[in-house]
Structure 1
Amino acid sequence: MKKSIICILILSLFSSFTFAQLWPKGALKQSDWNLSLKNMKVGDVLEKEYISCFGGENDAVLASSWLAAEGNPPKKLQPYEKDENGDSWDEYEIDWANQYRYDTWTEMYGPGKCFDGKTDTAWCEGVEGDGIGEVVIAWVDVKRPVRIWSGFGKSQKTWETNNRPKDIKVFIIQGEIVGQSVNGPNYKMKVIGEKKLTLKDINGWQPLDLGEYNEIDVGYYKKLDSYELQKSNTFIAVQILSVYPGTKYKDTLISEISN
C-alpha cells in the first residue's frame, strides 16, 4: 500500500512538471494591448485577470502597449537538432519547442521583461511618439524596498539613444488569488493606491519611494495600509507622464522593476 502511494505521488509530480513544461504560452500580439490600463484609478478592479508564470499572451494584461519584436523569428528546428543552448527535442516535442521559441521571441519588449531579473532586457511602449500615458505592471512585493532601472540598460549606448521615463505615476495593486494554474496562481487585481514620482536620469538602479500613496477616498498622503498589503500578492503599475529624450529614438523603455 505504501509503495503504491509513493508511486502515485512520484507520477503526479512528474506529470505536473512535464505538463508545465509543455503548456503553450501563446504569442504576445499587439492586438492584445490592455488599453484600459491608461484610464485606471484607485479603487478600480482591473477588467482582466492575470494568469501568472506563463508569460506570452498571458502577460498581455500587464501593459497598455509594447513594441513589436525586432528582426526575424527563430528558425524552426528539426527533431534532435540542437538549438543555441545545446538543447534538442524528439519528434514528439519538436512542434511544441518551435512554438515556444516563436512565442518567446514575440515577448522581446513585452511587459514581462521589466521583472525578469535582467537589466539587459526591457519593456518598451509600442505607440507613436514618446509613449506618454502608457502603462506597464510589474509583479513585486510592495512591503519590501522596490527599485527601478529606467531606460534600456543593455548598454550605455542603448540607454542614451532611447527615451527614459522622467515623471511617472505609480499605482499600488493588490492581487486576490481567484484560481490556480499548473505554474502558479491567477489574480484579480485591484488598484489600492497611487503616487507621482520624478525619476533621476541615471543608467542604473534607483529606489521607488512607496512610503506614501493617495488612498481611495482620502485627500491626503498616508502610510501604506499594512492590512491591505499583508500578503505579497502585490504589483506596481508605472504610467509614463514625461520623459528624458533619447539622442536618436523616441521609444521609452524600463529595464527592470523589482525588489
Structure 2
Amino acid sequence: MEAFFSTPGTSDSITFKIKEDIRNAKKHIYCAVCYWDDEDICDAIITSKAQLKKLVLNNGLPSTGVLDKLTKNSINMVFLGTSSHPYSNMHHKFIIIDDILWIGSFNFTLNAKERNYESMIRLEVVKKKESINKVIDTYKKEFNRIWRLGEYLKDVVQVGKGTCNSCKKVVANPFEHYLIDIIYSEGNLSDIVFFCSENITLYPSAESVFKCSVCGSNNAIISGNIKHIEELSNEYETIIDYRNYGATVCSKCFLDGNYR
C-alpha cells in the first residue's frame, strides 16, 4: 500500500503513476470518476492494451475534449447522477487497473493536478494480505453495481442531464422515479424494464419501507414487480402461465443481481 499527494507547485506524482499502471494493464480498467478534463489519463486509457475498459462518469461532467476522445475511440461508458437541482452526483473517485486499486480525492482534472491539495492511496493484490485483497474485491463489486445501474438507465435517462426521457423531470433517485419490472421466462431472467412512475399510483408507495426479501435489511423497497412467464402444455392446448409478485428487494441486492 502506498500513499500519494499532490500540492500546488510540486510535480504531479499521482497522474504519472496512474498512467504507468494503465500502460502496464493487460486485463481490465474499471474507472469511476466525477470530473475529468485532463487528457493525459484519457490518452493512456485509449492506448492501453487492456482487454476490457469500462468507465462510470457523472452526468454533471461538462462536455470536454476528454468526452469527445473517449466517444470517438468507442470506450465503454455509462453515466449516473444529475446536472441540475435536485443534484445527485456520481461522486466516486477510484480506478481499478487489473489487480491495482487507486482511491482518494483526486479527480482527473487540471485543477487536481496543478492547483489542489489532493491524496490517493494505491493498493495492490498481494499474497497473504487478505485485508487489502478484500478491499479491492469490495470496490470491484461496487463498480459492477454502478455499472449495471448505468446500463439499465442509459435508455431511460438523458445523458448529460440526468432527466427522465419520458416525463423530463430530474432523476435524483432512480429507485423512486421508476417502476421496475424483473421478468423471467421459462425460469430464466428475460428482461429488466424501467417505467417512469409519474402519474402512476404505486402500491406500496415509494416512501414505504420494508425488509428486503433477500438480505433482510430495512432498505427502501424497489417499487415494481417480479414476473414469471412459462409455457405449459397438455394434450389439448398450450397455456401461458403468468405469475406476478410485488418486488421486495433493496437497491443493493437488485444491483447485485439478487432478484428473487
* TM-score for the superposition, normalised by structure 2: 0.26
- Highest RCO, 1 vs 2 (Cα 8 Å, sep ≥ 6): 1
Q: Which of 1 and 2 has greater Rg?
A: 2
> TM-score under structure 1 normalisation?
0.26
